[in-house]
Structure 1
Amino acid sequence: MKKLSLHSTILIGITLFSMFFGSGNLIFPPFLGYQSGGSALFAFLGFALSAVALPVLGVAAVAKCGGLDRLCERVHPRFALLFSIIIYLCIGPMLAIPRTASTSYSMFSFLTDHLENQTIFSVPMTLLARILFSLVFFAAAGTIAKRPERLKDILGKRMTPLLLILIFTLFTASLFHLPLTSSVTTAAYEKSPFLKGFTEGYQTMDTMAAMVFGIVIAVNIRALGVQDNNAIAVETI
């Protein structure tokens, strides 16, 4: 039974990290820290449970069962169909995909702020900029999605190092340019910081995405030469 090399295992792990670390993970944790103030520790524990622990368990469960459909069929075949449809709609056109494009566009606000209150043939310039950006964004995403077996190369080798550099830059900048005093704890976090953090972590939708990411990772592991289903489950976990 073939196993992945240490280099391939690290590459798959980095790929999985980059898949999970989306727009929600970049925005929610800093905002959580800002709103939770002195209750940040308990809020973070709740956030980590729903945004880290549950997704990891989800990937492991899907890998062990051999797919989302097999996992859900343990309840009932009809439930498996309905649940799969809901998951794909939530992490697809209903929630995750529009949010990803919107968040990515907002990162370029320093280039688009001057377009406010400007129009072309009575059409707001900001609307045209959003449409143009969305077309380019989804064209690039669609091109990558057509070759899921290459995600380990595109995300693992190229995008993740850049992502880590950006995260480190953001963290370093916050240490030197933000006040060291804690912000005022909002009412929601003051009352129940752990539950509020858990709810915010669930909004990253990583728990739902984990049900599908396990399948994508399995495709990439097969592309590395591991064909046995049990071996794929072990390597994924």
Structure 2
Amino acid sequence: MRLSSLAIIWSTGIAIFSMFFGSGNVVFPLLLGAQTGNQITWALLGLTITAVGAPLLGLLGSVLFEGDCKRFFYRIGQLPGYLAVMLILALLGPIGVMPRCFIVAYGAVKPYLPDLSLFIFSLIAGLVTLVLIARRNLILPVLGYFLSPVLLLSLVVIMITGIAKGGPMVSEPYSSFMAIKEGIVVGYNTMDLLASIIFSVSIWLLLQEKLSIKDDKDIKTKLIPTYVWASIVGGGLLGLVYVGLSFSAALHSAALQNTAPEQVLATLAIHLLGSKLAMVANIAIVLACLTTVMSLAVAVVDVIHVEVMNTSLGKKLSYSYGWMMFITMVITVIFTNLGFAAIMAFLNPIMSVCYPAIIVLTVCNILYKLYGFPYVKMPVYSTFVATLLYKGFTMG
């Protein structure tokens, strides 16, 4: 393999890792490790399926559609596809991932400012985010250049220390099947499959430029082989982080008992590194969460702004970009104050029902692009209905 090809593979793989790596990718493996204890190996198998395999599959499918999420979803029908895109944007934005980031940031601050309420923190975080968004072209690259190495280094230190100092794992009442199932559900909660489809355009543009993609032949001979190797790099890095964090939490689950989900990383860092050294990691967590919210807010509002302005109602109301950003942050602050558990209780049923159908849609779209497979509506809707009936049966 030529050096230039290796460089493209590694740069794309790291871009894939950076695209998926966020606060949820840190918190949920820790929660899984603390919860499943000595069954963590089986749980990681389930997590790998839905938090690594499914997003990489979704990214391939959406890249084959040139990063156009509307074309990707419109294959199930224009109205259902449009509603799916708007719902996913809301979940990745102000009613799901964005408030979850604020809560995780609050969890990192809480040990050092115990009297600070979530309400006050969310107001401050919302205002700071709005100010930073106004200068995002300057701030995001600087923070990204400085922040990513600090955060990753902090996590590596926590993982190595956690595994080196770990004691025996607590025996949890999970069978191997139950542990795999728990890992699959936790993988849903990362919501990376949704992110891979909505925000895939950056990976498509990178591969298109680096490989000079011009036609379908180039896609099959250049793009897919490069993407497969790059996904091994990006997915492998993500998997290593999951393994390290999950085992660290499983080996120190006693220290994490009765810890709020958003405070698990901060508690583990203090337990392993001490209060002063852990402060560096916690500052990195707070900044990472804020930059994630900034990036998501800009991406979500950009799409919604275009969609609303293209409607007759949007033209009559003359929505401004600034007001839409302000409203987005207000909704984010409101949902933040519901708390982590309430947000997850709201998201879990949606993810559990929708994820299998979106995976089937992804597979159908890949087969369509590569082999002309014509069927999509029947497989997707059948999967959705079957999952909905199964969830209703198990909950009843």
Residue 82 of structure 2 corresponds to 81
Q: How far off is 1:201 after superposition? A: 1.0
* Residue type at the aligned position of 1:39: Q
Residue 56 of structure 1 corresponds to 56
Match runs of 1:224-235 below 5 Å:
228=214, 234=223
TM-score (norm 2): 0.48
Q: Can you give the 5+ residue segments of structure 2 that lack an aligned partner in the other structure?
A: 229-396
Residue 192 of structure 1 corresponds to 178
The question of 1:107 aligning with 2:108 is answered yes
Residue 167 of structure 1 corresponds to 155
Alpha carbons of 1:142 and 1:62: their partners in 2 closer, same or farther (altered >3 Å)? farther
Q: How far off is 1:71 after superposition? A: 1.6
Cα deviation per residue 1:122-167 (whole Å; 9 max; x = unaligned)? xxx66334321332245436754x69xx87x864x54433332122
The answer on whether the counterparts of 1:112 and 1:126 sit within 8 Å (CA) in structure 2 is no
- SS of residue in 2 equivalent to 1:207: helix
TM-score (norm 1): 0.76
Structure showing greater relative contact order (alpha-carbon pairs closer than 8 Å, 6 or more residues apart): 1
The question of 1:127 aligning with 2:119 is answered yes
| Identity rate, percent | 23
* Residue type at the aligned position of 1:212: I
Residue 276 of structure 2 corresponds to none
What's the C-alpha RMSD, in Å, of the aligned pairs?
A: 3.2
Cα deviation per residue 1:159-196 (whole Å; 9 max; x = unaligned)? 4333321221110221344x421123156x67711111
What CA distance in whole angstroms lies between the structure 2 residues aligned with 1:82 and 1:40?
37
Residue 73 of structure 2 corresponds to 72
Q: How far off is 1:44 after superposition? A: 0.8
* Residue type at the aligned position of 2:84: F
* Residue type at the aligned position of 2:36: S
The total of aligned residue pairs comes to 218
What CA distance in whole angstroms lies between the structure 1 residues aligned with 2:88 and 2:215?
23
Residue 90 of structure 1 corresponds to 91
* Residue type at the aligned position of 1:209: A
The answer on whether the counterparts of 2:42 and 2:176 sit within 8 Å (CA) in structure 1 is no
- SS of residue in 2 equivalent to 1:107: helix
* Residue type at the aligned position of 2:132: A
* Residue type at the aligned position of 1:206: D
